[in-house]
Structure 1
Amino acid sequence: MRWLDVRRHSLTKKGATRGRGSHLSADGIALARLIGSGAGPYEHVVTSASPRAVETAVAMGCAVDDTVEMPSGYVPEEIPRHAQWGWAEPYRRLAEIVREGRAAAAVAEAHRAIWADTVGSVAEGGSALLVGHGGAIELALVACLPDAPHDTWGTPFAHCDGVRIGFTGGHFVGVEFHRAPRSPVRPD
Protein backbone atom coordinates (compact mmCIF):
# COMPACT_ATOMS: atom_id res chain seq x y z
CA MET A 1 0.00 0.00 0.00
CA ARG A 2 1.09 3.53 -0.77
CA TRP A 3 -0.30 6.59 0.99
CA LEU A 4 -1.35 10.00 -0.24
CA ASP A 5 -1.88 12.90 2.13
CA VAL A 6 -3.85 15.74 0.57
CA ARG A 7 -4.07 19.14 2.25
CA ARG A 8 -5.87 22.32 1.38
CA HIS A 9 -3.54 25.31 1.34
CA SER A 10 -3.23 27.39 4.50
CA LEU A 11 -4.65 30.82 5.34
CA THR A 12 -3.88 33.66 2.95
CA LYS A 13 -3.46 37.41 3.23
CA LYS A 14 -6.64 39.46 2.83
CA GLY A 15 -7.46 42.82 1.31
CA ALA A 16 -4.81 44.95 -0.38
CA THR A 17 -1.99 42.74 0.97
CA ARG A 18 -3.41 39.63 -0.73
CA GLY A 19 -1.37 40.05 -3.90
CA ARG A 20 -1.39 37.88 -6.98
CA GLY A 21 -1.67 34.19 -6.12
CA SER A 22 -2.86 34.85 -2.58
CA HIS A 23 0.29 34.43 -0.54
CA LEU A 24 0.08 32.99 2.97
CA SER A 25 -0.55 35.24 5.94
CA ALA A 26 1.49 35.01 9.13
CA ASP A 27 -1.35 32.97 10.67
CA GLY A 28 -1.27 30.73 7.59
CA ILE A 29 2.43 30.08 7.97
CA ALA A 30 1.99 29.28 11.66
CA LEU A 31 -0.87 26.88 10.92
CA ALA A 32 1.07 25.10 8.16
CA ARG A 33 4.09 24.76 10.48
CA LEU A 34 1.85 23.21 13.12
CA ILE A 35 0.37 20.75 10.63
CA GLY A 36 3.82 19.93 9.24
CA SER A 37 5.21 19.16 12.68
CA GLY A 38 3.06 16.02 12.81
CA ALA A 39 3.16 15.06 9.14
CA GLY A 40 5.38 13.01 6.86
CA PRO A 41 7.94 12.03 6.00
CA TYR A 42 7.10 12.23 2.31
CA GLU A 43 8.97 10.72 -0.61
CA HIS A 44 7.27 13.00 -3.12
CA VAL A 45 5.61 16.42 -2.69
CA VAL A 46 3.39 17.99 -5.35
CA THR A 47 1.44 21.24 -5.12
CA SER A 48 -0.74 23.28 -7.39
CA ALA A 49 1.21 25.97 -9.22
CA SER A 50 -0.41 28.64 -7.01
CA PRO A 51 1.98 30.38 -4.58
CA ARG A 52 -0.31 29.68 -1.61
CA ALA A 53 -0.06 25.92 -2.21
CA VAL A 54 3.72 25.96 -2.66
CA GLU A 55 4.12 28.16 0.43
CA THR A 56 1.95 25.77 2.47
CA ALA A 57 4.15 22.78 1.64
CA VAL A 58 7.33 24.74 2.39
CA ALA A 59 5.91 26.02 5.70
CA MET A 60 5.04 22.40 6.54
CA GLY A 61 8.77 21.69 6.21
CA CYS A 62 8.61 19.95 2.83
CA ALA A 63 10.66 20.48 -0.29
CA VAL A 64 8.34 20.73 -3.29
CA ASP A 65 9.26 18.24 -6.02
CA ASP A 66 6.78 19.44 -8.61
CA THR A 67 3.98 21.91 -9.24
CA VAL A 68 0.99 21.08 -11.42
CA GLU A 69 -1.68 23.23 -12.99
CA MET A 70 -4.89 21.98 -11.38
CA PRO A 71 -8.32 22.86 -12.76
CA SER A 72 -10.75 24.66 -10.48
CA GLY A 73 -13.38 22.57 -8.77
CA TYR A 74 -15.86 25.35 -9.38
CA VAL A 75 -17.51 24.53 -12.68
CA PRO A 76 -19.90 27.07 -14.27
CA GLU A 77 -23.53 25.91 -14.27
CA GLU A 78 -22.66 22.83 -12.17
CA ILE A 79 -20.75 23.87 -9.04
CA PRO A 80 -20.84 27.58 -8.12
CA ARG A 81 -17.91 29.01 -6.16
CA HIS A 82 -18.04 27.89 -2.50
CA ALA A 83 -21.40 26.15 -3.03
CA GLN A 84 -20.19 23.11 -1.08
CA TRP A 85 -20.36 25.15 2.12
CA GLY A 86 -24.12 25.57 1.77
CA TRP A 87 -24.93 21.92 1.08
CA ALA A 88 -26.10 19.69 3.95
CA GLU A 89 -24.18 16.69 2.53
CA PRO A 90 -21.54 18.21 0.25
CA TYR A 91 -19.76 14.99 -0.73
CA ARG A 92 -23.00 13.19 -1.56
CA ARG A 93 -24.04 16.15 -3.73
CA LEU A 94 -20.67 16.24 -5.48
CA ALA A 95 -20.85 12.49 -6.16
CA GLU A 96 -24.25 13.04 -7.79
CA ILE A 97 -22.80 15.81 -9.96
CA VAL A 98 -19.85 13.63 -10.99
CA ARG A 99 -22.20 10.75 -11.92
CA GLU A 100 -24.01 13.13 -14.30
CA GLY A 101 -20.88 12.92 -16.45
CA ARG A 102 -20.64 16.53 -17.57
CA ALA A 103 -17.83 19.08 -17.16
CA ALA A 104 -17.44 18.58 -13.40
CA ALA A 105 -16.86 14.85 -13.99
CA ALA A 106 -13.97 15.70 -16.32
CA VAL A 107 -12.47 18.04 -13.70
CA ALA A 108 -12.86 15.34 -11.03
CA GLU A 109 -11.12 12.81 -13.28
CA ALA A 110 -8.28 15.25 -14.02
CA HIS A 111 -7.67 15.61 -10.28
CA ARG A 112 -7.99 11.86 -9.66
CA ALA A 113 -5.31 11.31 -12.32
CA ILE A 114 -3.01 13.90 -10.68
CA TRP A 115 -3.51 12.21 -7.31
CA ALA A 116 -2.81 8.74 -8.76
CA ASP A 117 0.31 9.98 -10.55
CA THR A 118 1.56 11.68 -7.37
CA VAL A 119 1.15 8.64 -5.11
CA GLY A 120 2.19 6.21 -7.85
CA SER A 121 5.68 7.72 -7.82
CA VAL A 122 6.47 6.53 -4.28
CA ALA A 123 7.73 3.12 -3.19
CA GLU A 124 5.44 0.51 -1.67
CA GLY A 125 4.76 1.58 1.93
CA GLY A 126 5.76 5.17 1.16
CA SER A 127 3.83 8.43 1.32
CA ALA A 128 3.33 11.44 -0.91
CA LEU A 129 1.88 14.88 -0.14
CA LEU A 130 -0.32 16.91 -2.45
CA VAL A 131 -1.36 20.48 -1.55
CA GLY A 132 -4.35 21.81 -3.45
CA HIS A 133 -7.46 23.91 -3.15
CA GLY A 134 -10.90 23.78 -1.58
CA GLY A 135 -13.62 22.88 -4.04
CA ALA A 136 -11.25 20.74 -6.08
CA ILE A 137 -10.15 18.45 -3.23
CA GLU A 138 -13.74 17.52 -2.39
CA LEU A 139 -14.52 16.83 -6.05
CA ALA A 140 -11.38 14.70 -6.49
CA LEU A 141 -12.07 12.76 -3.32
CA VAL A 142 -15.48 11.57 -4.51
CA ALA A 143 -13.92 10.62 -7.87
CA CYS A 144 -11.24 8.57 -6.07
CA LEU A 145 -13.79 6.76 -3.89
CA PRO A 146 -17.04 6.77 -5.90
CA ASP A 147 -18.73 4.05 -3.82
CA ALA A 148 -17.82 5.40 -0.37
CA PRO A 149 -20.46 6.56 2.13
CA HIS A 150 -20.20 10.21 1.07
CA ASP A 151 -23.03 11.28 3.36
CA THR A 152 -20.82 10.50 6.39
CA TRP A 153 -17.81 12.61 5.38
CA GLY A 154 -18.87 15.86 7.04
CA THR A 155 -17.85 19.36 6.08
CA PRO A 156 -15.80 20.60 3.13
CA PHE A 157 -12.08 21.33 3.51
CA ALA A 158 -11.19 24.41 5.54
CA HIS A 159 -7.64 25.80 5.42
CA CYS A 160 -5.03 23.07 6.07
CA ASP A 161 -7.66 20.34 6.48
CA GLY A 162 -6.49 17.10 4.98
CA VAL A 163 -7.17 13.53 4.09
CA ARG A 164 -5.02 10.40 4.03
CA ILE A 165 -5.99 7.91 1.38
CA GLY A 166 -4.52 4.52 0.53
CA PHE A 167 -3.51 3.46 -2.98
CA THR A 168 -3.04 -0.13 -4.06
CA GLY A 169 -3.37 -1.99 -7.34
CA GLY A 170 -3.99 1.27 -9.18
CA HIS A 171 -7.00 2.15 -7.00
CA PHE A 172 -7.66 4.41 -4.04
CA VAL A 173 -8.90 2.68 -0.91
CA GLY A 174 -9.95 3.92 2.51
CA VAL A 175 -10.03 7.48 3.72
CA GLU A 176 -9.05 9.18 6.95
CA PHE A 177 -9.90 12.84 7.47
CA HIS A 178 -7.52 15.16 9.33
CA ARG A 179 -9.09 18.44 10.36
CA ALA A 180 -6.79 21.34 11.15
CA PRO A 181 -7.19 23.02 14.53
CA ARG A 182 -9.40 26.09 14.65
CA SER A 183 -8.42 29.10 16.69
CA PRO A 184 -9.95 32.51 17.35
CA VAL A 185 -7.33 34.17 15.13
CA ARG A 186 -8.38 32.06 12.13
CA PRO A 187 -11.32 33.49 10.20
CA ASP A 188 -13.26 30.87 8.24
Structure 2
Amino acid sequence: MTILEIRRHSLRKNTGGSQLSQQGVDLARRLGESMGPFAVVATSVVPRARETALAMGFAVDQEVVTLASDEEGLHAESAESQWWQADHPFAALAALIGQGGASYRYAHALAAVWRDLLTPLSHDQAALVIGHSGDLEYGLVACFPDADHRRWGRPLGCCEGARLTYANRFCGVEFFRTP
Protein backbone atom coordinates (compact mmCIF):
# COMPACT_ATOMS: atom_id res chain seq x y z
CA MET A 1 0.00 0.00 0.00
CA THR A 2 1.01 3.59 -0.57
CA ILE A 3 1.45 5.72 2.54
CA LEU A 4 0.64 9.37 3.13
CA GLU A 5 2.02 10.89 6.29
CA ILE A 6 0.58 14.24 7.27
CA ARG A 7 2.06 16.46 9.97
CA ARG A 8 1.28 19.85 11.38
CA HIS A 9 4.18 22.32 11.25
CA SER A 10 6.46 22.65 14.28
CA LEU A 11 6.54 25.36 16.96
CA ARG A 12 6.85 28.92 15.72
CA LYS A 13 8.41 32.01 17.29
CA ASN A 14 6.44 33.77 20.02
CA THR A 15 7.17 37.12 18.37
CA GLY A 16 4.66 36.50 15.61
CA GLY A 17 5.33 35.81 12.01
CA SER A 18 5.59 32.46 10.37
CA GLN A 19 9.10 31.23 11.14
CA LEU A 20 9.92 28.33 13.45
CA SER A 21 11.45 28.90 16.86
CA GLN A 22 14.67 27.13 17.81
CA GLN A 23 12.55 24.81 19.96
CA GLY A 24 10.45 24.08 16.87
CA VAL A 25 13.54 23.30 14.78
CA ASP A 26 14.84 20.97 17.51
CA LEU A 27 11.49 19.16 17.76
CA ALA A 28 11.26 18.70 14.00
CA ARG A 29 14.86 17.38 13.88
CA ARG A 30 14.15 14.79 16.58
CA LEU A 31 11.02 13.55 14.81
CA GLY A 32 12.66 13.55 11.40
CA GLU A 33 15.31 11.09 12.56
CA SER A 34 12.69 8.33 12.77
CA MET A 35 10.60 9.26 9.72
CA GLY A 36 10.75 8.42 6.04
CA PRO A 37 11.92 7.78 3.49
CA PHE A 38 9.49 9.75 1.34
CA ALA A 39 9.28 9.77 -2.44
CA VAL A 40 7.46 13.12 -2.35
CA VAL A 41 7.49 15.88 0.26
CA ALA A 42 4.91 18.64 -0.04
CA THR A 43 4.26 21.60 2.21
CA SER A 44 1.90 24.54 2.29
CA VAL A 45 3.23 27.83 0.96
CA VAL A 46 3.58 29.23 4.51
CA PRO A 47 7.27 29.35 5.56
CA ARG A 48 6.84 27.42 8.83
CA ALA A 49 5.63 24.35 6.90
CA ARG A 50 8.67 24.35 4.58
CA GLU A 51 11.00 25.01 7.54
CA THR A 52 9.51 22.03 9.37
CA ALA A 53 10.20 19.69 6.46
CA LEU A 54 13.76 20.98 6.11
CA ALA A 55 14.41 20.68 9.85
CA MET A 56 13.14 17.10 9.66
CA GLY A 57 15.82 16.48 7.05
CA PHE A 58 13.62 16.35 3.94
CA ALA A 59 13.95 18.39 0.77
CA VAL A 60 10.66 19.90 -0.34
CA ASP A 61 9.47 18.72 -3.75
CA GLN A 62 6.48 20.99 -4.04
CA GLU A 63 4.38 23.56 -2.29
CA VAL A 64 0.64 23.01 -2.25
CA VAL A 65 -1.78 25.90 -2.42
CA THR A 66 -5.08 24.87 -0.87
CA LEU A 67 -7.54 27.62 -1.53
CA ALA A 68 -11.15 27.39 -0.51
CA SER A 69 -13.62 27.90 -3.33
CA ASP A 70 -15.79 29.83 -0.84
CA GLU A 71 -13.39 31.18 1.76
CA GLU A 72 -15.99 33.50 3.29
CA GLY A 73 -18.48 30.65 3.65
CA LEU A 74 -15.82 28.33 5.06
CA HIS A 75 -14.79 30.85 7.71
CA ALA A 76 -18.40 31.63 8.60
CA GLU A 77 -19.28 27.94 8.99
CA SER A 78 -16.16 27.28 11.05
CA ALA A 79 -16.69 30.31 13.30
CA GLU A 80 -20.30 29.36 13.90
CA SER A 81 -19.57 25.73 14.75
CA GLN A 82 -16.27 26.26 16.63
CA TRP A 83 -15.70 22.53 16.11
CA TRP A 84 -12.19 22.68 17.63
CA GLN A 85 -13.67 23.55 21.05
CA ALA A 86 -16.13 20.65 21.13
CA ASP A 87 -15.70 17.70 23.51
CA HIS A 88 -15.18 15.57 20.39
CA PRO A 89 -13.74 18.00 17.83
CA PHE A 90 -13.40 15.56 14.93
CA ALA A 91 -17.03 14.45 15.38
CA ALA A 92 -18.14 18.09 15.44
CA LEU A 93 -16.10 18.76 12.29
CA ALA A 94 -17.59 15.69 10.60
CA ALA A 95 -21.07 17.02 11.38
CA LEU A 96 -20.12 20.39 9.90
CA ILE A 97 -18.67 18.80 6.77
CA GLY A 98 -21.75 16.58 6.52
CA GLN A 99 -23.92 19.65 6.00
CA GLY A 100 -22.61 19.84 2.44
CA GLY A 101 -21.61 23.52 2.39
CA ALA A 102 -18.29 25.30 2.01
CA SER A 103 -16.68 23.06 4.65
CA TYR A 104 -17.65 19.96 2.68
CA ARG A 105 -16.18 21.38 -0.53
CA TYR A 106 -12.96 22.45 1.18
CA ALA A 107 -12.45 19.15 3.01
CA HIS A 108 -12.93 17.14 -0.17
CA ALA A 109 -10.65 19.46 -2.14
CA LEU A 110 -7.90 18.75 0.41
CA ALA A 111 -8.52 15.01 0.20
CA ALA A 112 -8.26 15.25 -3.59
CA VAL A 113 -4.92 17.07 -3.35
CA TRP A 114 -3.61 14.32 -1.07
CA ARG A 115 -4.90 11.61 -3.40
CA ASP A 116 -3.26 13.34 -6.37
CA LEU A 117 0.10 13.33 -4.56
CA LEU A 118 -0.16 9.56 -4.10
CA THR A 119 -1.47 8.59 -7.54
CA PRO A 120 1.92 8.53 -9.33
CA LEU A 121 3.64 6.59 -6.53
CA SER A 122 4.16 2.84 -6.51
CA HIS A 123 2.57 0.69 -3.81
CA ASP A 124 5.73 0.69 -1.64
CA GLN A 125 6.34 4.44 -1.62
CA ALA A 126 5.28 7.19 0.76
CA ALA A 127 4.58 10.91 0.65
CA LEU A 128 4.82 13.51 3.41
CA VAL A 129 2.62 16.59 3.69
CA ILE A 130 3.39 19.33 6.20
CA GLY A 131 0.38 21.56 6.77
CA HIS A 132 -1.64 23.40 9.36
CA SER A 133 -4.13 22.81 12.12
CA GLY A 134 -7.63 23.01 10.73
CA ASP A 135 -6.62 22.07 7.19
CA LEU A 136 -5.28 18.67 8.22
CA GLU A 137 -8.37 17.85 10.28
CA TYR A 138 -10.70 18.79 7.39
CA GLY A 139 -8.75 16.53 5.04
CA LEU A 140 -8.70 13.62 7.50
CA VAL A 141 -12.47 13.70 7.98
CA ALA A 142 -13.01 13.83 4.22
CA CYS A 143 -10.72 10.83 3.70
CA PHE A 144 -12.55 8.81 6.38
CA PRO A 145 -16.17 10.02 6.44
CA ASP A 146 -17.49 6.87 8.13
CA ALA A 147 -14.87 6.65 10.89
CA ASP A 148 -15.69 6.85 14.57
CA HIS A 149 -14.54 10.47 14.81
CA ARG A 150 -15.34 10.62 18.52
CA ARG A 151 -12.29 8.39 19.10
CA TRP A 152 -9.86 10.63 17.21
CA GLY A 153 -9.24 12.97 20.13
CA ARG A 154 -8.24 16.61 20.02
CA PRO A 155 -7.11 18.65 17.00
CA LEU A 156 -3.50 18.13 15.93
CA GLY A 157 -0.78 19.92 17.88
CA CYS A 158 2.62 20.98 16.56
CA CYS A 159 4.35 18.14 14.68
CA GLU A 160 1.44 15.80 15.37
CA GLY A 161 -0.18 14.01 12.50
CA ALA A 162 -1.34 10.77 11.00
CA ARG A 163 -0.26 8.01 8.64
CA LEU A 164 -2.86 7.15 6.02
CA THR A 165 -2.76 3.99 3.94
CA TYR A 166 -4.00 4.18 0.38
CA ALA A 167 -4.97 1.45 -2.08
CA ASN A 168 -7.20 3.12 -4.69
CA ARG A 169 -8.88 4.81 -1.71
CA PHE A 170 -7.87 5.86 1.78
CA CYS A 171 -8.32 2.72 3.85
CA GLY A 172 -6.51 3.16 7.18
CA VAL A 173 -5.34 5.86 9.58
CA GLU A 174 -2.94 5.86 12.52
CA PHE A 175 -2.45 9.02 14.60
CA PHE A 176 0.85 10.38 15.94
CA ARG A 177 0.62 12.48 19.07
CA THR A 178 3.46 14.18 20.93
CA PRO A 179 3.68 13.76 24.69
The verdict on a shared fold, with TM-score over 0.5 as the criterion, is yes
Give the C-alpha shift of residue 58 in structure 1. 0.5
Task: Tell me, yes or no, if the aligned pair for 2:81 and 2:96 is still in contact at 8 Å.
Answer: no
User: 1:107-146, aligned counterparts within 5 Å?
Assistant: 107-146=106-145
Question: Are 2:45 and 1:45 aligned?
Answer: no
Q: Indicate the percent of aligned positions where both proteins have the same amino acid.
A: 42
Unaligned segments of structure 1, at least 5 residues: 182-188
- Runs of 4 or more consecutive aligned structure 1 residues displaced over 4 Å after TM superposition: none
Number of residue pairs matched?
176
Question: Are 2:171 and 1:173 aligned?
Answer: yes
Distance 1:81 1:54 in 2: 31
C-alpha offsets along residues 140-165 of structure 1, whole Å, 9 cap, x if unaligned? Answer: 10000001111111111000001000
Residue equivalent to 1:185: none
Task: Tell me, yes or no, if the aligned pair for 1:2 and 1:168 is still in contact at 8 Å.
Answer: yes
Distance 1:157 1:97 in 2: 18
C-alpha offsets along residues 145-186 of structure 1, whole Å, 9 cap, x if unaligned? Answer: 0011111111110000010000112x10111001123xxxxx
Distance 1:84 1:180 in 2: 21
C-alpha offsets along residues 72-118 of structure 1, whole Å, 9 cap, x if unaligned? Answer: 79932211299344111111111111111100111101110111111
Question: Are 2:155 and 1:159 aligned?
Answer: no
Change (3 A) 1:137 1:81: farther
Unaligned segments of structure 2, at least 5 residues: none
Residue equivalent to 1:64: 60
Task: Tell me, yes or no, if the aligned pair for 1:7 and 1:130 is still in contact at 8 Å.
Answer: yes
Distance 2:31 2:145 in 1: 28
Q: What secondary structure does 1:177 align onto? A: strand
TM-score scaled by length of structure 2 = 0.92
Q: Which moved more, 1:78-87 or 1:106-115?
A: 78-87
